[in-house]
Amino acid sequence: MIDVALLGIIRRWYIRDHISIREIARRLDISRNTVRRYIRSEAVEPSYPTRQSSSSLDEFAPRLSAWLTVKQPNLESKDEP
């Protein structure tokens, strides 16, 4: 999987330093097609599909929300002048 830093390196080498796609692929040990795809794409960073997983806290969400909205007692001391 390619990350944002690697995408930045690929684009910098190709656009600013004029290094060939073949040389970039050799230096980074990735496919030339991968290098070509990221150079041609307009994406600033790689996009991944969003995860559709539920949280283990979902069943406790109403109780947690109720606890957080309970009015807190006044913590100020009455002995203060």
Whether the pLDDT of residue 55 is over 80: the answer is yes
Q: What angle do CA 25, 32, 14 make, to 5 degrees?
A: 60
Confidence bin at 32 (pLDDT 50/70/90): very high
| Interatomic CA distance for residues 76 and 65, integer angstroms | 25
| Interatomic CA distance for residues 76 and 14, integer angstroms | 63
Mean pLDDT to the nearest integer, 15-21? 94
24-47 burial, b at 16+ Cβ within 10 Å, e below that, comes to bbeeeeeeeebbbebeeeeeeeee
Confidence bin at 22 (pLDDT 50/70/90): very high
Q: What was the pLDDT predicted at 45?
A: 63
Mean pLDDT to the nearest integer, 7-19? 92
